[in-house]
Structure 1
Amino acid sequence: MDLEAVAAISRLKYRYLRCLDTKSWDEFADTLVPEATSTYGEYLQFESRDALVAFMRNTLGPHVITEHHCDHPEIDVHGNKATGVWYLADTVLIPEHSMILRGAAFYHDEYVLCDDGQWRIAHTGYERTYEAVVSLRDLPSFRMTSNRWASVLAEGPWSMAENPRAS
């Protein structure tokens, strides 16, 4: 087993998740090859890095807070290509709609070692094992006490200053 490659691919996946959650879109794009494909569940499919990044930027902008955790990697390296299966647990907080989504899935990824010596994702995607949605209106004790993007949302429909649940 090529432990250096496994470590580099693990670091790549963690960076993909960090950049997704911090909305660092340029760095997120750099985790993918230009022709990367992706499939999230049954209905979301993308045929290029640009299409995926544009979708994530628009869908998971500052109005949505995400938390993605991947662990239990099963990575197989075959020269300059590799495959990986990861367990995903995620939380998506959508204040504008007063909802929280929780879920789990298994990512199935393909990686390539690029000319610059960096591993990048050639294909990523997951199949959900479950997904559940809870209305924040059903949780009277819910309070948002911190939000990295609060200043961006200060004039939006769910600003911390205007929302009684935010304090």
Structure 2
Amino acid sequence: MPTDDLHDLLRRVRRLEAIRAIEQLKYRYLRACDRKDPDAFRDCFVRSGADIDYGPVGRFNDREGLVEVFSQVALAHHGDGWLVHDVHHGKHPSIELIDDQTASGEWTLWFMQINRLDASVTQVSMEYRDRYIVDDGEWKIASTHVTPMTTLRAPMAEGAFTASIPLR
């Protein structure tokens, strides 16, 4: 195989590996939300200086402010269980590598939350616009902004919620 072809193949494989690593990062983030895991959630963002605009949730210039809000909501108790149960689904990723250390991405989020206190179900869709960088050798979220698209909130029928994630 000629050297140029080998270099091109290696470049393309590295590009695919980087895109896959960024997708896995976003999936870890979404899973951390659903599992109520503030440490895994925190680890998805750069150590300092993250640019976060989550619309109604707030704007943050560092991951710690968002982790604090996440922890307050996700870890709130109601009776013998969690107050809210969330399901986050990231869909339609579009990742563009800018260079070996920087990338941008767009995702569609489908989100559902069950609130046990007011017996409601909220369904939301929004678009993420992210920027990723390599931080300490791993891809991390450096910037993330959301654009809300739809919100549907409805009362939950009595007895409709039967499953519960046990408290840790």
Determine if the TM-score, normalized by the shorter chain, exceeds 0.5: yes
Residue aligning to 2:124: 103
Structure 1: 4+ residue segments shifted above 6 A: none
Q: Please tell me whether residue 55 in structure 1 is matched to residue 69 in structure 2.
A: yes
| TM-score, L = length of structure 2 | 0.82
- The structure with more radius of gyration: 2
Distance change (3 Å), C-alpha of 1:95 and 1:69: same
Letter in 2 for 1:40: Y
CA distance in 1, matches of 2:85, 2:145: 20
1:19 to 27, 32, 41: 32
Give the Å deviation of 1:126. Answer: 1.1
Matched residue, 2:19: 6
Aligned twin of 1:46: 60
Is 2:106 the partner of 1:85? yes
Residue 143 (structure 2) pairs with residue 123 (structure 1): yes
| CA 1:55–1:42: 2 relative to 1, 3 Å | closer
Instruction: Supply the AA of the counterpart residue of 2:30.
Output: L
Query: Are residue 113 (structure 1) and residue 134 (structure 2) matched?
Result: yes
The letter of the residue matching 2:95 is: I
| Equivalent residue pairs, number | 147
Give the aligned CA root-mean-square deviation in angstroms. Answer: 1.6
1:42 is displaced (CA, Å) by: 5.3
Shift of 1:59: 1.7
CA apart distance, 1:60: 2.1
Counting aligned pairs with the same residue, the percent is 31
Partner SS for 2:144: strand
Task: State the SS of the aligned residue for 2:41.
Answer: helix
Deviation (angstroms), 1:98:
1.1
1:144 equivalent to 2:158? Answer: no
- Give 2:162's aligned amino acid: T
For structure 2, the 5+ residue unaligned runs are 1-11, 76-81
C-alpha separation in 2, matches of 1:5 and 1:133? 37
Larger helix percent: 2
